[in-house]
């Protein structure tokens, strides 16, 4: 059945340049037939009934954490809305109140870049611009990697889909285009989250939210 369908498609495409629309002298263009075929599901026929999902799957892999977020029981005393980041666990807890928190896997600072303390969310940005600090650019330059002075937001931007800035520091809770780093100590001090997770957290956080970073 599939072979017969393929033969019919091929025959119609070959005949397309000579075909003419009814009541018109204008030829029917091959491109329009190909577009129509794609829209009506011919890609599934050509792949033997299996939808072409490669691009969609690749996009999901870029944005999805290898460790799923989860709603958990949380017995610690903290005001609802508080964000607690545990460096040793490499987890971020968003306290929801009533003994419940949302737990996300994160990437924390690598050796020499870990820090602890408390601050507040001072600014939020969607698809933020990345401006690497001068010392970071100098450090990476010694390794042969030249960083841009500034990079606009986008899928290739290391800050990912969202950023929450912490006080007046250089640190942020932000997305990443390297989800493989989640659950590890690989950042230069910022807290990385997979794009899907940082979007989820971002939507539930307000300016002034307290953030606690601990070992």
CATH number of residue 133's parent domain: 2.40.440.10
Q: Are residues 95 and 16 in the same domain?
A: no
Q: Are residues 167 and 104 in the same domain?
A: yes
Would you state the pLDDT for residue 141? 83
**Nearest alpha-carbon partner for 196 in 61, 80, 42, 101:** 61
**Nearest alpha-carbon partner for 188 in 135, 132, 138, 113:** 113
The answer to whether residue 77 sits within a structural domain is yes
* Number of structural domains in the chain: 2
Would you state the pLDDT for residue 127? 97
The answer to whether residue 113 sits within a structural domain is yes
Which residues of the chain are under the pLDDT cut of 50? 1-58
The answer to whether residue 63 sits within a structural domain is no
Q: Are residues 171 and 97 in the same domain?
A: yes
Q: Are residues 206 and 178 in the same domain?
A: yes
Alpha carbon distance 19, 64 (integer Å): 47
The answer to whether residue 28 sits within a structural domain is yes
Q: Which of 103, 124, 162, 174 is catalytic?
A: 174
Would you state the pLDDT for residue 60? 59
Q: Are residues 129 and 155 in the same domain?
A: yes
**Domain span holding position 23:** 2-52
Q: Which of 85, 102, 106, 190 is catalytic?
A: 190
The answer to whether residue 59 sits within a structural domain is no
Active site residue 174: yes
Q: Are residues 47 and 77 in the same domain?
A: no
Give backbone dihedrals phi and psi of 60, rounded to 5 degrees, phi first.
-65, -40
Per the confidence metrics, is the pTM higher than 0.85?
no
Residue 179 burial class via C-beta count within 10 angstroms: exposed 0-12, middle 13-18, buried 19 and up: buried
Q: Are residues 142 and 181 in the same domain?
A: yes
The answer to whether residue 128 sits within a structural domain is yes
Alpha carbon distance 135, 189 (integer Å): 13
Q: Are residues 47 and 87 in the same domain?
A: no
Q: Are residues 28 and 87 in the same domain?
A: no
- CA geometry: angle at 30 spanning 28 and 36, to 5°? 90
In tens, the pLDDT along 164-183 reads 999 999 999 999 999 999 99
Q: Are residues 42 and 136 in the same domain?
A: no
Query: Residue 165's CB: how many other CB atoms inside 10 A?
Result: 21
Q: Are residues 28 and 131 in the same domain?
A: no
| DSSP secondary structure of the chain | -HHHHHHHHHHHHHHGGG-B-TT--SBPPHHHHHHHHHHTTHHHHHTTT----HHHHHHHHHHS-SS--EEEE--S---TT-EEEETTTTEEEEEEETTEEEEEE-BEE-TTT---EEEEEEEEEESPPB---HHHHHHHHHTT----S-B-SSTTSTT-SEEEEETTSS-EEE--S-GGGTTSEEESSSEE--HHHHHHHHTT--TT-EEEEE-
In tens, the pLDDT along 71-102 reads 999 999 999 999 999 999 999 999 999 999 99
The answer to whether residue 62 sits within a structural domain is no
The answer to whether residue 58 sits within a structural domain is no
Alpha carbon distance 86, 29 (integer Å): 61
Q: Are residues 46 and 83 in the same domain?
A: no
């Amino acid at each position: 059945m599939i072979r017969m369908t393929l033969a019919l498609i091929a025959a119609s495409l070959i005949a397309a340049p000579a075909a003419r629309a009814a009541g018109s002298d204008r030829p029917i263009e091959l491109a329009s037939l190909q577009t129509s075929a794609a829209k009506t599901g011919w890609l599934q026929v050509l792949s033997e009934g299996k939808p072409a999902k490669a691009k969609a799957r690749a996009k999901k892999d870029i944005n999805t954490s290898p460790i799923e977020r989860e709603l958990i029981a949380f017995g610690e005393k903290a005001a609802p809305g508080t964000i607690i980041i545990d460096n040793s666990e490499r987890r971020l807890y968003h306290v929801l109140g009533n003994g419940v928190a949302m737990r996300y896997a994160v990437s924390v600072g690598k050796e020499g870049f870990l820090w602890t303390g408390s601050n507040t969310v001072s600014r939020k940005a969607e698809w933020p611009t990345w401006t690497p600090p001068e010392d970071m650019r100098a450090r990476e330059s010694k390794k042969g990697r030249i960083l841009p002075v500034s990079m606009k937001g986008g899928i290739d931007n290391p800050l990912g889909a969202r950023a929450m800035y912490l006080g007046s520091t250089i640190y942020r809770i932000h997305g990443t285009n390297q989800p493989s780093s989640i659950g590890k100590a690989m950042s230069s001090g910022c807290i990385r989250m997979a794009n899907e997770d940082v979007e989820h957290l971002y939507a539930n956080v307000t300016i002034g939210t307290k953030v606690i970073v601990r070992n």
